[in-house]
Each structure stands twice: as structure tokens, then as C-alpha cells.
């Protein structure tokens, strides 16, 4: 999802770190850390003031936006993921997050091969990422358990991938990574406890169920 907004302002607006600036976040220099209040003059003026109680709609909308920005998907895409999730037998909120986690761009990011999901999307769309040895250039591709992901041999992005690996992001347990070989695989579908999204998926479900 391309966004015209400065990405660090999204983290400040959400009030949580969304992982949109990899190296700056690791170094403690992200905009949210340096300016821990919403963007704009009103945001700074309201810093430290007691906030009014938000409506249920606003709380649900805010959580929906966190998930949307965190994974870098458009509102319409997120709605389609919700529709697919509620047709499955698993709890809708957890299933929604699992589908987002299994996106190819997110898997590349989670393996540590990109500093941000936006960078991972670029790697995928430019044909640098292989699934089971075949090039896949669709970021929304759902990587299934047992499938292998690798960076194309002698790819021009290898220095960028090595730089991302040096950031030291933790690889979740549902993925097996061989960062030296620039390859990995999905060991199993992620459990909710293995997904570190800074949002309440139940409020996201409530939002789509009502609106």
C-alpha cells in the first residue's frame, strides 16, 4: 500500500511503534520516540492533558488503522481479509492476523531480510524474492507451511538484505531462517501468541461487523 503521509507521523498518530522506520526505530531515533505526541499543533498542545473518553467507534477505528498501517495494506484490502477470516472456523480476529502475517512481504520482513515491510514489498515487486525456487512478485501472496522463501542468487539487493539482517530483528518461532544463506521457510501457521501486532484485533472485528 503506497501512502502519501510521512510514515513516522502514522506511528505518532497511532500512539504506538508500527515498525515503519527500521534502522531509526532500532537506534531509538524514530519520530514517535523523539516526539511522543500526535502530529500537528493540537497534538503537542494536548500532550500531558487528560484525554476525553473516546467513543466506541473511535476506539474501533483507531485499532483498525493500527493494523492497516502496521501491515501496509489499504482499507479495502483489510476489509477483504476480514470477510475471508469470518468464513473460517477459527476466531475471526486471530485468523485475520494470521492471514496478514502470511503475506509474502510480511514473511520477508519477519525473516529479517528487510528493514521495513515497505522495503520487503519493493523486494518482492521487483522480482528479487523466490518461493520454492520460483519468482513471485505479488506481495499479498499467502505463504503456506512448508514453503521455502529465498532471495534470488546474486541479486542486486543482497547488500540491503545483509544490512537489514544486521539490525537484529527477532525471527518468530513460526518461521525457520537461515540468514547466512538468505533463505527460510514457514514452519507452521502463526499462533496468536507468536504475533506481536500492537493492536486489539477484537476491536477491528467489531469495527467491520458494525460498519
Domains of the chain: 1-47 (1.10.1050.10), 54-98+198-211 (1.10.1050.10), 103-188 (3.10.290.10)
Q: How crowded is residue 80: how many other Cβ atoms within 10 Å of its Cβ? A: 14
134-135/129-131 β-pairing:
antiparallel
Whether the Cβ atoms of residue 204 and residue 60 lie closer than 8 Å to each other: yes
Alpha-carbon dihedral 110, 114, 117, 123, rounded to 10 degrees: -120
- Three cell numbers at 63? 485499532
Place of cell 547466512: 180
Give the per-residue pLDDT at 143.
99
Q: What is the largest CA-CA distance in the chain?
A: 55
Place of cell 503456506: 144
Based on its alpha-carbon atoms, the radius of gyration of the chain, rounded to whole angstroms, reads 18
Q: What angle do CA 27, 32, 34 make, to 5 degrees?
A: 65
Contacts of 139 (CB under 8 A, 6+ apart): 103, 104, 105, 120, 121, 124, 125
Please classify residue 52 by burial: count the beta carbons closer than 10 Å to its beta carbon, then call 0-12 exposed, 13-18 middle and 19+ buried. Answer: exposed
pTM: 0.79
| Tens place of pLDDT per residue across the chain (211 aa) | 555 556 566 655 657 767 766 665 565 666 656 666 677 666 666 666 666 678 999 999 999 999 999 999 999 999 999 999 999 999 999 999 999 999 999 999 999 999 999 999 999 999 999 999 999 999 999 999 999 999 999 999 999 999 999 999 999 999 999 999 999 999 999 999 999 999 999 999 999 999 8
Q: How far apart are CA 107 and CA 117, in angstroms?
A: 9
Whether the Cβ atoms of residue 34 and residue 17 lie closer than 8 Å to each other: no
- List, in sequence order, every residue forming a beta bridge with 148; answer none if it has no partner: 185
Length of the chain, please? 211
> DSSP class of residue 19?
S
Amino acid at each position: 500500500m503506497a501512502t502519501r503521509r510521512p510514515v513516522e507521523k502514522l506511528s505518532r498518530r497511532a500512539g504506538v511503534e508500527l515498525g515503519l522506520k527500521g534502522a531509526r526505530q532500532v537506534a531509538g531515533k524514530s519520530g514517535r520516540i523523539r516526539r511522543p505526541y500526535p502530529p500537528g499543533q493540537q497534538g503537542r498542545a494536548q500532550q500531558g492533558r487528560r484525554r476525553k473518553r473516546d467513543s466506541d467507534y473511535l476506539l474501533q477505528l483507531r485499532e483498525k488503522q493500527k493494523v492497516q498501517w502496521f501491515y501496509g495494506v489499504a482499507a479495502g484490502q483489510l476489509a477483504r481479509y476480514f470477510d475471508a477470516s469470518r468464513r473460517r472456523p477459527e476466531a475471526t480476529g486471530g485468523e485475520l492476523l494470521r492471514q496478514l502475517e502470511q503475506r509474502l512481504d510480511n514473511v520477508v520482513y519477519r525473516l529479517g531480510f528487510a528493514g521495513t515491510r515497505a522495503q520487503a514489498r519493493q523486494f518482492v515487486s521487483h522480482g528479487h524474492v523466490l518461493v520454492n525456487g520460483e519468482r513471485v512478485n505479488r506481495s499479498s501472496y499467502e505463504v503456506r507451511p512448508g514453503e521455502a522463501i529465498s532471495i534470488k542468487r546474486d541479486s542486486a539487493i543482497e547488500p540491503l538484505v545483509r544490512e537489514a539482517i544486521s539490525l537484529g530483528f527477532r525471527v518468530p518461532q513460526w518461521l525457520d531462517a537461515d540468514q547466512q544463506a538468505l533463505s527460510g521457510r514457514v514452519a507452521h501457521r502463526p499462533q496468536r501468541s507468536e504475533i506481536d501486532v500492537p493492536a486489539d484485533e477484537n476491536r477491528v472485528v467489531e469495527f467491520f461487523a458494525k460498519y
